[in-house]
Amino acid sequence: MKICLDTNAYTEVRRGSNREAMRLLEEAEAVYVPSIVVGELFAGFYQGSHTQRNLAELSDFFEIPGVEFISPTIPICERYGLLVAELRRKGRPIPTNDIWIAAAALETGSRLLSYDKHFNAIQGLIVYRP
């Protein structure tokens, strides 16, 4: 199974407070971290009081075999556009960054690990909330 991480899931895993989430990541054949998530993490790190520690932990996380940074590809960009249009037609907008994250998960064929319920609005997206 392939897992795509949302920002809040990365934070939970790094805290070590959710054993089920940690187990899912350990058993995954691939763990994708979209560029949008990394940007949100950097934003949080630079606003917090443990910037250097958090940056070092993120760097170490990317050294774990199977963890992969995902940049927006043309198919991810197209999926993003389709999702925006679909959500607007339904009258169910969600935050822009989360649409990008969902597009990355869908295009990589992965399941999204997140605690945000608004991802339920995206048809075909499998979300784990351990």
CATH of domain 2-128: 3.40.50.1010
Domain segments of the chain: what residues?
2-128
Name the pLDDT band for 4 (thresholds 50, 70, 90): very high
Average pLDDT, the chain: 94
Check pLDDT > 80 for residue 103: yes
* For range 116-129, the mean pLDDT: 93
3-state SS track over the chain: CEEEECHHHHHHHHHCCCHHHHHHHHHCCEEEEEHHHHHHHHHHHHHCCCHHHHHHHHHHHCCCCCEEEECCCHHHHHHHHHHHHHHHHHCCCCCHHHHHHHHHHHHHCCEEECCCHHHHHCCCCCEECC
What's the rounded mean pLDDT across residues 94-105? 97
Output the pLDDT for position 21.
84
Rounded Cα gap, residues 41 and 13, in angstroms: 13
- 29-72 pLDDT, tens digit per residue, is 999 999 999 999 999 999 999 999 999 999 999 999 999 999 99
**pLDDT tens digit sequence for 73-83:** 999 999 999 99
pLDDT at 25 over 80: yes
pLDDT score of 18: 81
pLDDT on residue 130? 80
